[in-house]
């Protein structure tokens, strides 16, 4: 069965898109830890990041770097943190999280609830800086 992220790639379920190219897609996490929390995925479904071949892994990282730099320009933050968890969705994804402090990277924190308009506006602000 296709992952929820493959359904996003196929346009079967919506997302707040930040950036895309032929191989990769970046969109806002629906349960953000901080405003601008973004997921970067390969369009081709693979479960575990460390099973990617070196070329796909390095291209994914290079794409994530571009997105991180755009997040940094678009939103007030000290750094953009990067994390890989992957326990919930079995489709490779990198979390990019604009942070002010170390605790912003704690995945046990309560998630933010932002309106659709806020999410749209944040995605557009990042997309403009790509
Ligand atoms: P994990 O697999 O543990 O790295 O967590 C998966 C992440 O995907 C969580 O932060 C979810 O909030 C996020 N997520 C799940 N479904 C969607 C969706 N449809 N759109 C955006 N983010 C999602």
Contact partners, residue 115, CB within 8 Å, separation at least 6? none
Q: What is the CA radius of gyration of the chain?
A: 14
Residue 118 has pLDDT above 90, yes or no: yes
Residue 28 has pLDDT above 90, yes or no: yes
87 alpha carbon to ligand 1 midpoint, in Å? 10
Q: How many helices (H) and strands (E) does the chain have?
A: 3, 5
Mean pLDDT of the chain: 97
| Mean of pLDDT values over 94-106 | 98
Residue 1 has pLDDT above 90, yes or no: no
Pocket flag, ligand 1, residue 88 (CB < 6 Å): yes
Q: Among 15, 17, 89, which residue has the most ligand 1 atoms within 8 Å of its CB, making it the best to mutate?
A: 89
Q: Which CATH architecture is the domain 4-127 placed in?
A: 2-Layer Sandwich (3.30)
pLDDT in tens, 32-56: 999 999 999 999 999 999 999 999 9
Reduced to 3 states, what is the DSSP secondary structure of residue 127?
helix
| CB neighbour class for 10 (10 Å; exposed up to 12, middle 13-18, buried from 19) | exposed
Residue 23 has pLDDT above 90, yes or no: yes
Domain boundaries of the chain, sorted by first residue: 4-127
Spatial CA neighbour of 27 closest among 12, 19, 87: 19
């Amino acid at each position: 069965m296709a992952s929820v992220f493959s359904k996003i790639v196929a346009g079967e379920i919506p997302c707040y898109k930040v950036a895309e190219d032929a191989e990769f897609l970046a969109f806002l996490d629906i349960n953000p830890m901080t405003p601008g929390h973004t997921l970067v995925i390969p369009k081709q479904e693979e479960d575990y990041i460390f099973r990617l071949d070196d070329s796909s892994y390095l291209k994914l990282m290079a794409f994530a770097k571009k997105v991180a730099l755009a997040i940094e320009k678009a939103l007030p933050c000290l750094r953009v943190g990067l994390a890989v968890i992957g326990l919930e969705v079995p489709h490779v994804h990198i979390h990019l999280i604009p942070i002010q402090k170390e605790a912003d990277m704690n995945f046990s924190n309560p998630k933010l609830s932002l309106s659709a308009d806020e999410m749209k506006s944040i995605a557009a602000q990042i997309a403009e800086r790509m």
